[in-house]
Amino acid sequence: LVPVMDLVNHEESGGKFLELSGEERLKKGDILDTTEDDSGTFIVRSMRHGRKKPLRKGQELLANYNVPNYSPLDWFLNLGFVPPERSTSWTKIDAALPPIHSSRDSHSHHQHNLAGSYGGGGGGGTITSFENL
């Protein structure tokens, strides 16, 4: 984590996070002159759609997190959310565990009644059977 940078929220049209190398120069078209001591410093500029956007008092600073090779699952696991522009790539995964059937189910010949081992008669909310694995 980078303190304070965590307060900057994602916006697809926002500017990028820039990490300085220490070799940036105004005469090369960079936004500032840097030295080796500046290497590793992060900069966020208020931008929308590639143009500077000055912030007004109280206005939120937004940035495009821009992690191009992240899948929606990577976004969710590493950043805690999936941005709308990446949410269309989800793939449905079938359930890994078999369903639990009630004793009234038509598959009752594949089930074992466990009510006796739990000391109950299958009353409200108690587990009465599992499908044979």
Per-residue pLDDT tens digits for 66-84 = 787 888 888 888 888 888 8
Mean pLDDT of the 109-126 span: 44
Per-residue pLDDT tens digits for 31-49 = 888 888 888 888 888 888 8
Amino acid sitting at position 21: S
Beta-strand pair 62-64/9-19? parallel
* Spatial distance between the Cα atoms of 124 and 126, rounded to a whole number of angstroms: 6
The 3-state DSSP class for residue 30 equals coil
pTM of the model: 0.50
Band the pLDDT of 90: cuts 50, 70, 90.
low
pLDDT at 114 over 50: no
* Spatial distance between the Cα atoms of 35 and 30, rounded to a whole number of angstroms: 13
Mean pLDDT of the 53-78 span: 86
**Summary mean pLDDT of the chain:** 74
- Give 19 or 125, the one with higher predicted confidence: 19
